[in-house]
Amino acid sequence: MRSYRIAVIPGDGVGKEVIPAGQRVLEAAVAGRAKLDWQVFPWGSDYYRETGSMMPADGVEQLRQFDAIYLGAVGDPPRIPDHITLWGLILPIRKALDLYVNVRPVRLLPGVRGPLRDKGPADIDMIFIRENTEGEYAGVGGRVHVGTPHEVAIETAVFSRFNVERVVRYAFELARGRRKHLTSVTKSNAQRYGMTFWDDVVTAVARDYPDVTVTSLLVDAAAALLVRAPERFDVVVASNLFADILTDLGGAIMGSLGLAPSANLAAQPGVPSLFEPVHGSAPDIAGKGIANPIGTIWAGAMMLEHLGEREAAQRVLAALERLTAEGQVLTPDMGGSATTEQVAERVVALLT
Ligand code: NAD
Ligand code: IPM
Ligand code: MN
């Protein structure tokens, strides 16, 4: 039987609730066909309180031994500042493993009443391709004269040709296999170096994809259009920060942030990719057992697909669609009263 080694990092808050739900569904989906060999790592904010770091110094090297990584969420505000937790776990993993694209589907599942009253599943069906290792998240900058009236803080965005080109190319390839429409989102009217460079790379790569129509939007206008006319979007490529913001908006138009999945894909073969929901540790609902596990389960389906278990992945997605279509067992964020575990149990029952 095929066997996959999966590193599991539940992390903080609702991450510890949605990950077991995801594992349960994935186990059921591959039962009898493949074995998921999970290894759980207790890294995150509790680990930080015990050891002074979010993961061991060789954490990334440990992760390299696995076929994939399944992560919940990280962050324990206000107890630990977010820039410490996030720069201690998820961001260094994305960078060190060179998880260069972050694939984030935004899709209205059947039966879900999203906030956009006149839009149905045919209107909301897009995939964001997020640059995932540099841009506004490059980590280049500093603070000097700290605490004085002369204090200066600098945070520099970094756009490299090597990186932007491979991310844009990924987006064009994806668009070619879908509705052949790519939207590139920048802010070249105000940011005249990095963003105009991004536009130039898109124009150059577009020459290799004459069959794909390209629309270039400014990020402010893109935000408004996502609400007004989501049907105009198919594949969307954007910088690290812009796609971060727009995919929370994407989660909202899907009906809940708890529904949105993501795949952080490794550039090099043999390096594990990382699969996680788009949402964070949701401290406002953590510990209540009511977090929506659908985004995490869906991310798990993306992981199965990536591992080559396409049929099992499709069965998980079909079960999620049946779950939302029947609309009986849903968590409170979707207007239901079910617990995280009850949703997982129902998804397992709907696997055929
Ligand atoms: P959040 O995504 O955790 O929560 C935003 C809102 O969405 C909250 O009202 C929350 O209750 C709701 N929500 C989120 N996930 C849900 C789910 N599965 N089911 C139902 N409702 C859900 O964002 P935030 O509050 O800004 O951030 C909380 C912490 O998470 C911060 O420390 C932040 O830095 C961190 N964060 C981590 C990740 C990650 O690990 N990848 C992603 C985003 C935010
Ligand atoms: C996400 C999160 C992270 C990001 C944070 C927690 C650093 O919001 O995965 O969307 O911005 O990448
Ligand atoms: Mn985010």
What is the arithmetic mean of pLDDT over 5-13?
Answer: 98
**Residue of 125, 63, 56, 138 lying closest to 95 (CA atoms):** 138
What is the arithmetic mean of pLDDT over 135-139?
Answer: 97
What pLDDT digit, counting tens, does each position of 78-98 carry?
999 999 999 999 999 999 999
The atom number, within ligand 1, closest to the CA of 18 reads 18
Q: What is the pLDDT of residue 127?
A: 98
Which ligand has the nearest atom to the CA of 259? 1
| Catalytic status, residue 170 | no
Cβ contacts of 150 within 8 Å, gap of 6 or more? none
**Residue of 292, 302, 291, 270 lying closest to 104 (CA atoms):** 302
**Residue of 279, 72, 346 lying closest to 338 (CA atoms):** 346
| Catalytic status, residue 187 | yes
What is the arithmetic mean of pLDDT over 267-288?
Answer: 98
Among candidate residues 187, 209, 234, 333, the one labeled active-site is 187
What pLDDT digit, counting tens, does each position of 234-262 carry?
999 999 999 999 999 999 999 999 999 99
**Residue of 42, 133, 63, 41 lying closest to 91 (CA atoms):** 133
Kindly list the domain boundaries of the chain, sorted by start residue.
1-100+268-352, 114-254
| Catalytic status, residue 208 | no
Average predicted confidence (pLDDT) for the chain: 98
Alpha carbon distances (Å) from 78 to 45, 75, 82, 157:
11, 9, 8, 27
How many angstroms is it from 114 CA to the middle of ligand 2?
23
What pLDDT digit, counting tens, does each position of 141-159 carry?
999 999 999 999 999 999 9
8, 132, 257, 278: which to mutate for ligand 1, most atoms within 8 A of CB?
257
Query: Strands (DSSP E) along 229-350, which ranges?
Result: 235-238, 261-266, 273-277
- Is 90 exceeded by the pLDDT of residue 330? yes
Alpha carbon distances (Å) from 330 to 47, 190, 301, 339, 349:
32, 43, 19, 8, 14
Structure tokens at 188: 């070249």
First to last CA, the chain: 20
What pLDDT digit, counting tens, does each position of 157-195 carry?
999 999 999 999 999 999 999 999 999 999 999 999 999
**Residue of 299, 324, 301, 296 lying closest to 312 (CA atoms):** 301
Ligand 2 pocket, residue 333 CB under 6 Å? no
How many angstroms is it from 279 CA to the middle of ligand 3?
6
Let me know if domain 114-254 sits in CATH 3.40.718.10: yes
| Catalytic status, residue 248 | yes
Ligand 2 pocket, residue 241 CB under 6 Å? no
Cβ contacts of 162 within 8 Å, gap of 6 or more? none
Q: What is the pLDDT of residue 352?
A: 87
- Is 90 exceeded by the pLDDT of residue 14? yes
Taking phi over 0 as left and psi of -120 to 50 as alpha, with beta for the rest, 13 belongs to left
**CATH class of the domain at 1-100+268-352:** alpha beta
| Catalytic status, residue 46 | no
Structure tokens at 158: 């970094």
